[in-house]
């Protein structure tokens, strides 16, 4: 009979200890973008709800933004970087000479003993990475995990493309996940539909191309469904929620999902997209940090290229 392998003792649950963001210095309104796509401020607001977004300067690289957000999150959690077991970076826009961003972020933090890896699930990347962190902590593989969503989406867009030029912004958001006696991160409900991957893809030059109407129809269908399944998996109802924090892709998608879920007026619905644009994998933690003094359970939903999606209920820090 084979000798059984030893295993590490896990934890009853995990929770988000803190959340922080890095928002680039430069704010860009709709007018200069509209001028390049033969459009208007009014058309952009009506199409997606965005009034402005942040754009990273040359000295605001993806790793720098990710490390800045993560450093603030660690300080907020009171966790020493040397006590971090893993650094997970969700991104679709890392273009540095290093093949992955996470080891560079870990080094910048001083988390020199931490495992570090990028997670590529596009705009669903943050809930994917959060589910991974939860499993690492509960399984005993990690004590504290830094989860970062970081993007320089404006590196990926054609400024004259009427489908994408007005949507995206840059920035980073981070959380610290640690052990808890009770579960503060609910079971993830996730999936992907590769048969529709062509509607949101890179072209031969590495520029992001999107079939907007098709993506909108897919998102308004998948978000309420995966959201309901995540609520069921966590054993809570929409009435129990304090907040709804979907990926900030389009204000119309957010509004349609909130209506479909029947969210009451007591539920704070994240609308960070209005002044921050779509920041890809960074949008959920950035929107979480922007919520006005909200505590209790929040429903997170990510969705995007792949086409990938994920949702979970979490207790806000």
What is the rounded CA–CA span in Å between residue 170 and residue 168? Answer: 7
Question: What sign for the dihedral angle of Cα 264, 265, 270, 272?
Answer: positive
Instruction: Say how far apart CA 280 and CA 168 lie, in whole Å.
Output: 8
| Tokens of residue 246, six digits | 């979907």
Cα–Cα distance, 237 to 216 (Å, whole number): 26
Task: Tally Cβ neighbours within 10 Å of residue 120.
Answer: 17
CB 132 within 8 A of CB 114: no
Given 123, 144, 250, 276, the catalytic residue? 123
Per the document, the length of the chain is: 317
Whether 276 is catalytic is no
Active-site residue, from 48, 144, 247, 276: 247
Q: CA nearest 312: which of 190, 194, 213?
A: 190
CA 289, CA 302: separation in Å to the nearest integer? 16
Tell me the C-alpha distance between 201 and 115, whole Å: 30
Residue 123 a catalytic site member:
yes
Which residues are the active-site residues? Answer: 123, 247, 278
């Amino acid at each position: 009979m084979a000798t059984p392998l030893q295993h590490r003792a896990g934890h009853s649950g995990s929770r988000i200890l803190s959340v922080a963001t890095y928002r680039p210095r430069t704010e860009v309104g709709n007018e200069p973008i509209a001028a390049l796509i033969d459009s208007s401020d009014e058309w952009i607001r009506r199409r997606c709800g965005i009034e402005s977004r942040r754009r990273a300067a040359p000295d605001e690289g993806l790793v720098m933004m990710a490390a800045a957000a993560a450093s603030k999150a660690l300080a907020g959690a009171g966790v020493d970087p040397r006590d971090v077991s893993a650094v997970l970076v969700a991104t679709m826009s890392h273009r540095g000479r290093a093949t992955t961003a996470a080891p560079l972020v870990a080094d910048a933090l001083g988390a020199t003993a931490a495992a570090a890896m990028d997670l590529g699930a596009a705009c669903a990347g943050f809930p994917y990475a959060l589910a991974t962190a939860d499993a690492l902590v509960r399984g005993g593989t990690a004590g504290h995990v830094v989860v970062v969503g970081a993007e320089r989406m404006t590196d990926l867009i054609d400024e004259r493309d009427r489908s994408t030029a007005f949507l995206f912004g840059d920035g980073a958001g981070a959380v610290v996940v640690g052990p808890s006696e009770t579960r503060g991160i609910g079971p993830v409900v996730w999936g992907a539909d590769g048969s529709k991957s062509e509607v949101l893809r890179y072209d031969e030059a590495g520029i992001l191309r999107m079939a907007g109407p098709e993506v909108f129809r897919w998102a308004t269908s998948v978000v309420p469904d995966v959201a309901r399944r995540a609520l069921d998996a966590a054993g809570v109802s929409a009435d129990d929620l304090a907040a709804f924090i979907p990926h900030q892709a389009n204000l119309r998608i957010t509004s349609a999902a909130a209506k479909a879920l029947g969210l009451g007026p007591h539920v704070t619905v994240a609308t960070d997209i209005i002044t921050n644009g779509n920041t890809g994998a960074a949008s959920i933690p950035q929107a979480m940090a922007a919520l006005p003094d909200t505590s209790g359970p929040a429903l997170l939903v990510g969705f995007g290229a792949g086409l990938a999606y994920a949702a979970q209920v979490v207790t806000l820090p």
